[in-house]
Amino acid sequence: MSLVRVHNFSISLDGFGAGEGQQLDAPFSHAGSRLMEWAIGTRTFREMGMPGESEPSFGVDDAFASRTGPGVGAEIMGRNKFGPQRGPWKDEEWKGWWGDNPVFHTPVIVLTHHPRPVLEMEGGTTFHFVDADPVAALDQARTLAGDLDIRIGGGVRTVRQFLEADLIDHLHLVLVPIVLGRGERLWEGLEGLEQSFDVEATPSPSGVIHLVFTRRKAR
């Protein structure tokens, strides 16, 4: 059976996966780029088009980042990752943060209470707007992905919902040593989560700590 994976999911010391106040010009809200700086520096993210001036890093941060795409046949994301709009779509002009040729190159399920037609982009990315619970969304993603794995792309609430539903096999978190103070908490409602996972920690010279949660038992 294919795996359900989370990659490069940054959290602060106080457990926030996003700050407060997402807007069109602030997709990560008051956190700014602080949660993603480790990734922006990697060769993998640079090759996906992330701007940056320093020499790309090719060490442990890149080793983790480079595993994001291979073997993945579909992503599931929350609507807040797709865009800053809330409620019914005012128009269907918004096509995500990623330009005409998004970085996914696979089908992407966007969880929303406000479905709209499938959006075909360049480079193989198709956005499917689906009103479904995690189990049903995962079923649909598996159909789209064939034998390949499913990536849960975030945001915070979406990852938390899939953890609550006990659907994640591989969880790669990146602990960023900052105290964000406010925003969306990843761990809310997940007391005892560690009982289902082995956890491995690897510090990076960049200052972050990679945490890999691996499910103890196959379902």
Q: For 100-126, b where at least 16 C-beta lie within 10 A, e where not — what string?
A: eebbbebbbbbbbeeeeeebebeeebb
Residue 3 or 175: the one with the smaller Cβ distance to a copy of itself is: 175
From residue 153 to residue 192, what is the string marking binding to a copy of itself with x (rule CB under 8 A)? ----------------------x-xxxxxx--x-x-xxxx
Query: With respect to a copy of itself, which residue has the nearer C-beta, 124 or 181?
Result: 181
For a copy of itself, which is the closer residue by CB, 101 or 202? 202
User: Considering the complex, what minimum distance in angstroms separates the CB of residue 191 from a copy of itself?
Assistant: 3
Q: Does 216 bind a copy of itself (CB under 8 A)?
A: no
Q: How far is CA 52 from CA 29, 130, 178, 216, in A?
A: 20, 34, 21, 38
For residue 115, state whether it binds a copy of itself (rule: CB under 8 A): no
Contact between 135 and a copy of itself by CB under 8 A: the answer reads no
Q: Exposed, middle or buried, 136 (CB in 10 Å: 0-12/13-18/19+)?
A: exposed
The per-residue DSSP string of 143-182 comes to HHHTTSEEEEEE-HHHHHHHHHTT--SEEEEEEES----S
Q: Which is closer to a copy of itself, CB of 132 or CB of 209?
A: 209
CB of 138 to a copy of itself, least distance (A): 22
